[in-house]
Amino acid sequence: MSSYTSQIDRLTTLCQSQGNAWQGINPEFATRMHLQNRFKTGLDIAKYTAKIMREDMAAYDADSSQYTQSLGCWHGFTAQQMMMAIKRHNKTTKRSYVYLSGWMVAALRSEFGPLPDQSMHEKTAVPKLIEEIYTFLKQADARELDHLYKALDEAKAQGGDVQAITAQIDNFETHVVPIIADIDAGFGNEEATYLLAKQMIEAGACAIQIENQVSDAKQCGHQAGKVTVPHEDFLAKINAVRYAFLELGVEEGIIVARTDSLGASLTQKIPVSKTPGDLASQYNAFLDTTVISSVADLEEGDMVIKQEGELRKPVRLDNGLYQFKEGTEKDRVVLDCVTSLQSGADLLWIETEKPNVEQIAELVNRVREQVPNAKLVYNNSPSFNWTLKFREQVYAQWQAQGKDLSAYPDPSQDPKALMAPELDQSELAAEADTKVRTFQRDGAAQAGIFHHLITLPTYHTAALSTDILAEGYFGDLGMLAYVRDVQRQEIRREQASVKHQDLAGSNIGDTHKEYFSGENALKAGGEANTMNQF
């Protein structure tokens, strides 16, 4: 017996136990409504998706080709359309996640209006967006199942293959997938981090990404002025997130520890070392200092620390921040990563300044010397000029090989010369594009990247598609701009959005009205519905 029919039998028995009071309830309709809302709470989602992520991590450990991917989404609708597209084109949602970007929450979801990525937006906007995304993903489930239910009714009426459609219902694959959610630097101290993490988990997040910047001085990872915290402070926040997962019963919850040390040159705080070689001592060893020979070398308010038997003065800027020594960036990244993994984090995020597999692999391999199964979540950032950076890589490789480059401009003379459109059909551009196409596969195989994401893609796609439509519609094309470049494409790509009434839930509503009111239902659909044109 299928799970669909067994659920009908169970509800039939329940309805019969209520006598005439429930005579208006159809057990099959109740079954359908029960199945179209598989996840009753956000915690149901978090537990379900955490298990998926853990299984995917184990699969990647066994085979690096089994890496995972996501796109950043700033609205529930964009997440819904992404997952519907993945399922339609790939016939499965496996290894596909949603990324929730703090940058896009700040830029697009704050009541203050557009803000920079500096943790200035309302922190409650993050769990609200998680809840919104899952509301839209569950609605995608309900819509697709509603279509299957209608197909089942038609099969029953017309003598079709009822068993095959019932099997589709029983084996239905949900659009609900893991979310990796950005908590920035925790929006305050460790207690604030714990409280926000709880809200995010209750909304459905199974994976929380936290970074080692100072919360009230947080900067976008691709901007200057980043200030990191001592390891003890960061580990306290990792503990806070783990406690939140455990309190809520999401024992398989995932913590992604992000280090910004590769591009950070400042710290706000000098930790106290209690024993030689402890974490505080290792952190302080990276500080830029000057040797103090006498009290005369000190000025009012200067701080002195003892390192390797010498008195040293850390270099302090006018704003009170302390500076790290140049050239320590990679060593700081490795220590950040090892310490985080050894203290409860599950995955790493190393924020780099360019997409280069060799650079990432160098860092990950050093981490793996101490933590062999270290894995990355990697930001395939729109802040990178992918075209330029990969053409530079190919140019440098060919130069090292002694290849004739006389047909190409020298990037050392003009840093952006390789971006010239006339190079688009060149051999160098083709080789660079091949490297871009295989970057995720190569990064997964060579640099320990378990999860590839693009943080802000739907921000850019919304801007680009709107620009193209506006140019044509308000220009010479008029209505053809919409018909040719939007609607006609939707129809030919078989996108659900072309039938926007159905996608927004109109047909689901009609179905429910029929359940509730029978033949008296006032329905929005029918032969007069213009959606029948599609």
Mean pLDDT (whole number) for 167-196: 97
Q: Which of 126-135, 161-170, 372-381, 508-517 has the lowest mean pLDDT?
A: 508-517
Say which residue the tokens 């101290």 belong to.
Answer: 189
pLDDT tens digits along 78-111: 999 999 999 999 999 999 999 999 999 999 999 9
pLDDT at 54: 98
Binding residues for Mg(2+): 182
**Cα Rg, the chain, nearest whole Å:** 28
Model confidence at 293, pLDDT cuts 50, 70, 90, reads: confident
What residue ranges define each of the domains in the chain, with the CATH number in brackets?
3-61+77-391+402-464 (3.20.20.60), 466-517 (no CATH)
pLDDT (0 to 100) of residue 250:
98
| pLDDT band, very low/low/confident/very high, at 302 (cuts 50, 70, 90) | confident
User: Can you spell out the DSSP letters for 187-256?
Assistant: SSSHHHHHHHHHHHHHHT-SEEEEE-B-GGG---TTSS--EE--HHHHHHHHHHHHHHHHHTT-TT-EEE
Given pLDDT bands bounded at 50, 70 and 90, which one contains residue 520?
confident
* pLDDT category of residue 162 using cuts at 50, 70 and 90: very high
Residues placed in the known binding site: 182
Please give the average per-residue pLDDT across 141-154, as a whole number: 96
Quick one: average pLDDT of 51-65?
A: 98
Helix boundaries (H) for 369-416: 386-400
Question: What mean pLDDT is predicted for residues 410-424?
Answer: 94
| Alpha carbon distance 369, 341 (integer Å) | 13
- Report pLDDT for 299: 86
CA angle 57, 59, 63 (to 5 degrees): 115
Percent of the chain predicted with pLDDT > 70: 96
The structure tokens listed for 147 are 């279509």
pLDDT in tens, 438-477: 999 999 999 999 999 999 999 999 999 999 999 999 999 9
Examine the pLDDT at 517 and tell me if it is beyond 90. Answer: no
Range 503-513 average pLDDT: 87
Q: Of 15, 73, 206, 220, which is the active-site residue?
A: 220
What is the pLDDT, as a whole number, of residue 119? Answer: 86
pLDDT recorded at residue 222: 63
User: Which pLDDT does position 225 carry in this prediction?
Assistant: 72
pLDDT at 147: 95
pLDDT range class, residue 527, cuts 50, 70, 90: low
Given a contact cutoff of 8 angstroms between Cβ atoms, the answer to whether 321 and 266 are in contact is yes
Q: Per mean pLDDT, which range of 167-171, 200-204, 497-501 is the poorest?
A: 497-501
Tell me, what's the pLDDT at 376? 98
Mean pLDDT of 257-276: 92
Residue 339 has pLDDT above 70, yes or no: yes
Task: Give pLDDT, residue 163.
Answer: 95
Residue 355's identity, in one-letter code, is P
Q: Which helix (H) or strand (E) holds 145?
A: helix 125-158
Tens digit of each residue's pLDDT (9 = 90 or more) over 352-370: 999 999 999 999 999 999 9
> Which pLDDT does position 534 carry in this prediction?
66
Nearest to 431 by CA among 401, 464, 395: 395
Span 395-412, pLDDT tens digits: 999 999 999 999 999 999
Task: Assign 3-state DSSP to the chain and report helix, strand, coil percentages, each to 5.
Answer: 50, 10, 35
Q: Is 337 a known active-site residue?
A: no
Token representation of residue 250: 């999401």
Q: Average pLDDT in the 480-504 region?
A: 92
When the pLDDT of each residue in the chain is averaged and rounded to a whole number, the result is 93
For residue 301, the model assigns a pLDDT of: 84
Q: What distance in Å separates the CA atoms of residue 371 and residue 342, rounded to the nearest whole number?
A: 8
**For position 531, what pLDDT does the model report?**
62
Give the three-class secondary structure for 409.
Answer: coil
Residue reference for tokens 């000025």: 299
The whole-number pLDDT of residue 529 equals 63
- What angle (nearest 5°) sits at the alpha carbon of residue 298, between those of residues 294 and 300? 145
